[in-house]
Amino acid sequence: MSPSVLPPPERSLLFACTRALRTGWAVWGLRAALLLLFPLQAPQRMHAQPPGGYTTKESKAIKLYEDGLDAMHARKWDAAEGSLKKAAAFDERFVEPRYALAELYAMKGDDPAAMQWYREAIGIAPRFFPMAHLHLADIEFRNQDFVAAEAHYKSFLEMEDEPVRRQRAKLGLDNCAFAAKAIRQPVPFEPVNLGPAVNSPDPEYYPCITADDRTLLFTRDLPDGASPWGHQEDFYVSTRDEQGAWTTARPVSGVVTPANEGAGTLSPDGRFIIFTACAGIDGDYGAGRKGLGSCDLFISRRIGNRWSPPENLGPPVNSRHWESQPSLGSDGRTLYYVRGTQARDGIQSMDIFVTRLQEDGSFGPPEKLGPQINTPFQEESVQIHPDGRTLYFSSNGHPAFGGLDIFVSRMGDDGVWGPALNLGWPINSGGDENSLLVSADGRIAYFASDRAGGSGGLDLYSFELYPEARPEPVTYIRGVVTDITNGKPVEADVELYDLGTGKLATAAYSDPGTGEFLVCLPTGRDYALNATAEGYLFFSANYSVAVAKDGVPPMLEARLSPLASGSTITLRNIFFNTASAELLPASNTELDKLLRLMKANPSIRIEVAGHTDNVGGDADNQRLSEQRAAAVARFLTGYGIDAARVTSVGYGESRPVAGNDTEAGRALNRRTEVLVQ
C-alpha cells in the first residue's frame, strides 16, 4: 500500500507524476508536482514580509529565514534545514522558521520532527497560522495519537470559518473516534505475495481477474528513458497453469502502445477490456485514436489470441475531464468508473459514476453515485463485484484510518446503495489502500501493496476475505455455441435472464474461433438462456445454477439451427400453470425473442407446436397442447405478426423426446416448439 507519508523531497516530482498515473490520471506537469511539494499553506506564502512584519526584529534571523525559504524553493533541503534552524535558534519567539521547519520535515516524512516544530510554533503563537493545527492533527492521527489529534482538530475548528476546511477537520474528528475503536478490533488479514511470476522490481497494481480465477490482468510501471516522466505504464497478463500457479506475466499484445495504459477491467470471460489511456486533450492515443480529455476510457476485444485496436468509448462516458479506473459489471452492460474534475491548481474532485449499455449498443448518460458512496473528498479504485450488488472502493471522505481506505457498500432490493463500511484494521492502515479486487466466489481478495518483503515497490498480494466483508456467492458457467448441422463454432450473443425477476442477469459474446463463452451468475437462482446469431434461429434453455462442485462449473451447449425451412427450436422458457394454457409472466423474455425474430425476418412462416407429458388422459393432453400452442400464436399476432405467417398445432403426448417415467423426462416432454416452414 502507498506510504503513509510523502516520499523524500528529492523524489517528490517523480512521486507526483507516478501517483497521478497509478490513479488513472494524466500527469499534471511541473506546476502540479510543485503544488504537492509546496502546498498552498506552505512557507512560500510567508516569504514576502507580511504587512505587520515578522515576529522578530532581528535582521540576521530574518535573513537566515528567507535564505531557508529560497533553499526550499530550489529543493536544496540540507541548506534549507540549516538556515531555518539557525533562524529559529537566533530568536526563541521567531515563529515563521518553526512553521517552515515543520512543513519541511512533514514533506521529508520525518513525523516526530514535524510534530516537534509544529507544537513549538503553536505554543508560541497558536493563532498565527491556523492551518498548522490541521496539519499537526493529520500527522498525529496517522501516528495513532488520537487524543492529541482530536484536540488540534477542535482547535482548528475554533479558528477556521472556511467551509471546506471545516469539513475536512470535522472528518478528522470522525476519523479519530472511528480509528481509536477499530484498531482495538482487528479483522483477519494474512496477505500472500503472488510471487516472482507476477511481481517484479517494478511496481504492479490495479489487478483484474476473470470469473474463473485463471487469468490475471494488471498494470506495471516500467522505466522508460524516452518518456518525459522517466517511466511508462503497460498491461501485463498472467494465467494459472495446471497446478494452479501463476505463469510468467507477459505484455498484452495489441493493447500496449508507446503511450500509457493502465487501470483495466475485463469482462467475466476475459474477451473485452476497458482501460484508461492518457493522450491529453485533443491528443492522439496511437494510430490517430483521439482523446477527449487528459485520460479517457478505451475498449478492445480479444478475438482468439489477438486484441482489436482500442477504440475510445466516446461521449457521454468520456468528457473533457478525467475518466479512469473502470469496472465492468458481470452483466456486460453496466460500467462503473471514476471521473475527476479539474480545478485551476489541482484536482477538484474524484467521484464514482455508473453508465449502462443501451439497446443501440452505446453507453447511456453517466450517473454519479449518491452520498452513501461519493463525498466532497476523493473516491477512486472502484470494483463492482460479479454479484452486481457489492461495490468496493477507496475513499478518504468516510471515517477511516487516514489516507485512502477501502470500503464496501451493498445495493438493496430497491436499487439504493447502503452505507459505506470500512473493511477494518489492518486491511486499512494510516496509508493509502486501493486496488482491491474480490474473486467471483467472494473468498479471495487481491490488492497492491508496497509492504516490506516484496519484490520492489508495489506488489500484488492475495488474502482470504473475512466473511462479513464478502459479497453474494457467485459462480461461473462455461458454454459453447455451435451450428447444429456441422458442429462448427458460431459467434453469438448469449444472454441469461433471471426467471424470478425477468431481468437480464448477464450477457456475453461467444468467441468466433471456438464458440466458447463464460458468464458469472449468483447461485441459487433459475435462469433462462438465449443465444442469438445472424442467420440462425435463437437457442433457448433454462438452468438452475448451484455452486460449482469441486470447482468445476456447469458446461452449457447452445446448438443453433440455421434459419431455413425444416429447422426447429424448442422454447424452454415458455411457462404455463399446471393444466392451464395461460402464459406466465416468466415467458415474456422468450416471447419477445420470438417476436423480434419474426419481425427481423418478415418472409418466414412458422408452426407453433404444443407437447405434453403422459400424465392425465389422452384427450385432455391433446386439448391442452393445442390451447398452449394457440396462446403463443395469439401473442405474436397480437403484436402485429400477420396471422398467415403463424399456425398452431397440438401433439399432446404423442411425440415424447424423453421417457415419462421420471420427472426430468416428463419436464422435457412438456415443451413448446417452433418449426420454420
Residue 98 confidence (pLDDT): 94
Which of the pair, 450 or 408, is modelled with greater confidence?
A: 408
Bridge partners, residue 562, by sequence: 536
Greatest Cα pair distance in the chain: 114
Contact between 374 and 385 (Cβ < 8 Å): no
60-64, 341-345, 392-396: lowest mean pLDDT where?
341-345
Q: What is the percent of the chain where pLDDT is above 90?
A: 48
Chain-centre distance for alpha carbon 155: 39
Per-residue pLDDT, 434? 77
pLDDT tens profile 649-673 = 999 999 999 999 999 899 899 999 9
Q: How much is the average pLDDT of 278-291?
A: 52
Tell me whether strands 606-611 and 646-650 are parallel, antiparallel or unpaired.
parallel
pLDDT of residue 256: 57
Of 39-43, 410-414, 505-509, least confident by mean pLDDT is: 39-43
pLDDT range class, residue 5, cuts 50, 70, 90? very low
Query: Which grid cell sits at 247?
Result: 505463469
Q: Do you find a cis peptide bond into 386, omega within 30 degrees of 0?
A: no
If one counts every other C-beta atom within 10 angstroms of the C-beta of residue 440, the result is: 24
pLDDT value of residue 551: 54
Residue with cell 470494483: 383
pLDDT at 504 over 70: yes
**pLDDT (0 to 100) of residue 121:** 94
Residue 546 pLDDT level (bands cut at 50, 70, 90): low
User: Is it the case that residue 25 has pLDDT exceeding 50?
Assistant: no
Higher pLDDT, 80 or 476: 80
C-alpha radius of gyration, the chain, whole number: 31
Check pLDDT > 90 for residue 255: no
Nearest to 494 by CA among 435, 557, 552, 446: 557
Q: Which three cell numbers stand for residue 609?
A: 407446436
pLDDT average, residue stretch 490-495: 91
Q: Which three cell numbers stand for residue 132?
A: 498548522
Q: Please check whether residue 16 is in contact with residue 230, taking contact to mean a CB–CB distance below 8 angstroms.
A: no
Average pLDDT over residues 62-66: 93
Domains in the chain with CATH codes: 9-182 (1.25.40.10), 192-469 (2.120.10.30), 473-562 (2.60.40.1120), 564-677 (3.30.1330.60)
The verdict on whether omega for the bond into residue 426 sits within 30 degrees of 0, i.e. cis, is yes
Segment holding 80, helix H or strand E:
helix 77-90
Q: Mean pLDDT, the chain, as a whole number? A: 83
Question: Phi-psi category of 424—alpha, beta or left, where left has phi over 0 and alpha has psi -120 to 50?
Answer: left
Give me the DSSP letters along 271-320. SEEEEEEE--TT-B-STT-B-SSSEEEEEEEEETTEEPPPEE--TTTS-S
* For residue 490, pLDDT beyond 60: yes
Confidence of residue 14 (pLDDT cuts 50, 70, 90): very low
pLDDT value of position 34: 29
Task: For residue 525, give the H/E element and its range.
Answer: strand 525-532
Residue 151 is predicted with a pLDDT of 95
Task: Inform me whether the pLDDT recorded for 18 exceeds 80.
Answer: no
* Pairwise pLDDT comparison (53 vs 343), residue with the higher score: 53
Q: SS3 of 265, please?
A: strand
The answer, yes or no, to whether residue 560 has pLDDT greater than 50, is: yes
pLDDT band at 24 (very low <50, low <70, confident <90, very high): very low
Q: Is the pLDDT of residue 8 over 50?
A: no
**pLDDT, greater one: 470 or 270:** 470
State the Cα–Cα distance between residues 551 and 51, nearest whole angstrom.
73
Looking at the predicted structure, is the pLDDT value of residue 408 above 60? yes
DSSP 466: P
For residues 551-566, average pLDDT: 83
Cα–Cα dist 585/379, whole Å: 41
pLDDT for the residue numbered 260: 67
* Residue 377 pLDDT exceeds 90: no
Average pLDDT over residues 600-616: 93
The whole-number pLDDT of residue 23 equals 35
Determine the Cα–Cα distance for residues 672 and 632; give it in Å rounded to an integer: 9
User: What count of Cα atoms within 13 Å lies in the side-chain half-sphere of residue 143?
Assistant: 19
- Which residue's C-alpha cell is 515576529? 55
Please tell me which of 2-11, 21-30, 158-167 the model is most confident about, judged by mean pLDDT. Answer: 158-167
* pLDDT value, residue 404: 85
Q: Is the pLDDT of residue 28 over 60?
A: no
**Residue 90 one-letter amino acid:** F
Cβ atoms 327, 274 nearer than 8 A: no
Instruction: Give the lowest-confidence range in 232-236, 323-327, 403-407, 590-594.
Output: 232-236
Is the pLDDT at 82 greater than 90? The verdict is yes
pLDDT at 44: 39
Q: pLDDT band at 360, cuts 50/70/90?
A: confident
Cβ–Cβ under 8 Å, residues 638 and 650: no
> Is 437's pLDDT higher than 50?
yes
- Count Cβ atoms below 10 Å from residue 675 Cβ, excluding itself: 17
Q: Which of 4-13, 296-305, 479-488 has the highest mean pLDDT?
A: 479-488
Residues of the chain with pLDDT > 70: what percent?
Answer: 85
State residue 10's pLDDT score.
29
The model's confidence at residue 51, banded by pLDDT at 50, 70 and 90, is low
Predicted pLDDT at 52: 61
**pLDDT per residue as tens digits for the range 452-471:** 778 877 899 999 999 999 99
